[in-house]
With several copies, the nearest count.
Chain A
Amino acid sequence: MRRTTYIQAINEALREEMRRDENVFLIGEDVGHYGGLFRVTRNLLDEFGEKRVLDTPISEQAFVGMALGAAMVGMRPIVELMYMDFTLVAADQIFNQIAKYAYMTGGLLNIPLVIRGQQGGGKRYGSQHSQSVESLYAHFPGIKVVAPATPYDAKGLLKSVIRDDNPVAFLEHKMLYFTRGDAPPPDEEHLIPIGKAEVKREGSDLTIATFSYCLLQALEGAATLHEKYGIDCEIVDLRTIEPLDTETIWESVAKTGRLLAVHESYAMCGIGAELVARAYEEVPHLLRAPARRVGMAPVSIPVSRALEEEVLPWKEEIIATVLEMERE
């Protein structure tokens, strides 16, 4: 199969969908002439012109709100937030407006809109440029949340997301951008459905439910756990955080009896806690040991390499938690 980077996969999905549907347009800071700070929208202006790839001033509230307005009448705006941390700058438009619009209008309007951008730690961007926002988005009903971990999934999911008639947050991760993986042929209709998790590693001892860059960390952790301790983790890549595909997770837990949720947004009131709560609501009988979650420590993500490594809920912490759980 053709190989591609994560960035390239997203770029291809954008291009294909913009060709397919002229209602799709891009809007954000530096997305046009420069092609995006992380070069995700590179060369799209050349093909689609200034009207469909709109460079904005640094006015997140306005351009996010404008995307909502355009979506009300069937345009399909794709908003780039340069860092997903800037969600907070446009939070009113995102959570008080976009998320609620269909509901407040009693379904008279629907909002086919995508907010995308990169998030996450690992590159020493510090407190205001490293947050993971999936739990924040998931807390508010009305916006779907998608966070693929591989180029293949990224391309297939972004295409589905653009075609979805609801608002969707499409969360990339800065550590994934230059990772490579299989890519579907560029001209083939390749769609991955929203709301479908996928088992990315089979195993019998414990289920790790995770997504985005944490998936890669979990896969590494699982390899170590297998080699060093003979523990076989099954890893479910959620891919979509809202709506949650609990069915696939519970199927895995039925096999393993153990559930660990791993994510990079804050643990406190995070999606991991949500999964634990749902497990005890829906499938308490399947759990042979207490379900657990691992997320970002309750600190604002420091710049220093030594400190950032300490607080990120990555491989080491996954391994340590699995070992604890196996002892229970």
Chain B
Amino acid sequence: MTQRGETQSKAKSTDDSAAPGFSQPGANDVSGVQDDWVAQTLKTSPAISITTDILPSDSAMGIEAPPLPTEQLLEMYRGALTIRLMEESLLAAAEEGKIGGAMHTAIGHEANAIGAAFALRPGDYITCTYRGHHHGLAWGMDPGRAIAEVMGRADGFAKGKGGSMHFVSPEHGLMGANGIVGAQAPHAAGLALASWLRGEDRVAITFFGDGAFYQGVMHETFNIAAKWKLPLIFYCENNRYSEMTPIWRTSSIDDIYLFPRSYGMASMQIDGNDVEVVHAAVSQAAARARAGEGPTFIEGITYRLAGHMAGDLETYRPQAEIEMQKAYEPLTVLRQKLRARGVEETQIAAINEEVDESMDEAVAFAEGSPWPDPAEAYRDVYT
């Protein structure tokens, strides 16, 4: 049984001593890896693949990422760490058999959600995938109720009906995670349409994976959104795997971010592990959307440090690849940034402790939450 805080990514998240230094020379040298998986995986985006290549990571293609105030970075750190610790708690709970079904954690993806959430406004809309816990928390959902939902308890925001794959919280703008790859993209386009029809300045953002890119519904949605200049942001979290299949094995498209330009859409490829870069890109996209200039496509290069879903044995990628990526994962990058700004270790440690404690409380809340009344099973089919 795995101890809490010790996920498949092995490094305890509140302590990055196990990870190599932030810009350690040779870190993007993959020659030490026994097989060619890493090299082939990186082939998808040879020019600018991951933080490795685009360091220092405060800029991305066409993006000026001005430094955010340290206070905000600290908030972002708190947010990202909350996500990480919740995911680790959930993995542990899953191993104990407390969670069924398919649970996909976002360990390693945190910056995509946090950077975007801080760039958007209350009233904006978001849809995402089954890998959506990070979006839920980044947009303000309570971790206790989130865990309760994953565990199928009565205090879950959907009374335990939706579970891990269907995070939703309209009051926070989160209009639904989705279990069907690609299905949530047109929903965001519809939300953007509603905003446009009503003459509001709300923006919609939809998150999806690199694998989702090959679903037909994406193409349809790209075309309509571009044609109608909908206030919409397509955010692709490219972790270069689609379940157990590396993207290069099934994709004929070398650079995902170039593809949407065929629709006349603005698009960019960014370091999705750097909250400041993500924040800058999403801010720019949102400004375009609010100005009536239509949708923007953002490809955030990222990596999932844990398995595709709880229970994944990860036979399809070498440990060395995961180890290499740990140097560039969001929390490591964030801590490095904070230190570079002169934030004291004690301050970081204090946040770590606070988040750790509040996560304990959240877990306790969820585990203490009752099972829903069986009669609840028959409600909500219709309003």
Contacts and interface: CB of A to CB of B under 8 A. Distances in A.
Q: A and B: direct contact (Cβ < 8 Å)?
A: yes
Interface of A: 25, 29-30, 33-34, 37, 51-52, 55-59, 61-75, 77, 85-86, 89, 92-93, 96-97, 101-110, 123-129, 141-142, 144, 165-166, 297-300, 302-307, 309-311
Contacts of B183: 65, 92-93, 96-97
A70 B383 contact: no
Contacts of A77: 190
Contacts of B181: 58
A65 B216 CA distance: 13
Given A33-B249, A299-B377, A59 B223 contact: yes
Given A59-B223, A304-B152, A304-B371, A106 B191 contact: no
Contacts of A51: 196-197
A108 B157 contact: yes
Contacts of B198: 75
Contacts of A30: 243-245
A304 B382 contact: no
What 9 A-B pairs come out closest when comparing CB atoms?
A69-B190, A65-B186, A124-B100, A303-B163, A304-B152, A304-B160, A106-B158, A62-B220, A59-B220
A68 B190 contact: yes
A166 B382 contact: yes
A29 B246 CA distance: 11
A103 B381 contact: yes
B100 A305 contact: yes
B180 A86 contact: yes
Interface in B55-106: 99-102
B180 A104 contact: no
Contact of A298 (B372, B381, B383): B381
13 contacts: A34-B244, A37-B243, A58-B214, A58-B242, A69-B194, A70-B190, A72-B187, A75-B193, A103-B380, A105-B380, A106-B162, A126-B162, A128-B180
A303 B217 contact: no
Contact of A141 (B161, B374, B381): B381
A74 B245 CA distance: 29
A109 B174 CA distance: 11
Nearest to B103: A124
A101 B176 contact: yes
A306 B193 contact: no
Contacts of B372: 304, 306-307
Specify the main secondary structure of chain A where it touches its partner.
Answer: loop
A72 B371 contact: no
Contacts of A93: 183, 186, 217
Nearest to A37: B243
A125 B194 contact: no
A128 B191 contact: no
Interface of B: 99-102, 125, 127, 152-153, 156-166, 168-170, 175-176, 178-183, 185-194, 196-198, 204, 211-212, 214-217, 220-221, 223-224, 227, 242-245, 249-251, 315-316, 371-372, 374, 376-383
A57 B162 contact: no
A51 B188 CA distance: 18
Contacts of A33: 244-245, 249, 316
A97 B190 contact: no
Contact of A62 (B125, B156, B192, B224): B224
A321 B43 CA distance: 59
A240 to B, nearest CB: 13
Given A65-B187, A109-B176, A29 B245 contact: yes
Contacts of B249: 33, 55
A109 B162 CA distance: 12
Given A58-B211, A69-B186, A103-B381, 14 more contacts: A30-B245, A33-B316, A37-B243, A62-B220, A68-B186, A70-B191, A85-B180, A92-B180, A97-B183, A106-B159, A108-B158, A128-B179, A297-B377, A303-B160
Nearest to B204: A69
The winner among A72, A144, A306, A307 for most chain B CB atoms within 10 A is: A307
A310 B374 contact: yes
A122 to B, nearest CB: 9
A61 B383 contact: no
- Please indicate which of the listed interface residues A37, A93, A105, A309 has the most CB atoms of chain B within 10 Å of its own CB: A105
Given A69-B189, A69-B193, A129 B168 contact: no
Contacts of A62: 186, 189, 216-217, 220-221, 223-224
Contacts of A59: 214-216, 220-221, 223-224
Nearest to A64: B186
A307 B187 CA distance: 27
Contacts of B211: 57-58
A85 to B, nearest CB: 8
Contact of A102 (B217, B245, B382): B382
A300 B191 contact: no
A32 B316 CA distance: 11
A135 to B, nearest CB: 18
B193 A57 contact: no
Contacts of A85: 180
A97 B316 contact: no
A309 B185 CA distance: 32
A107 B212 contact: no
A245 to B, nearest CB: 15
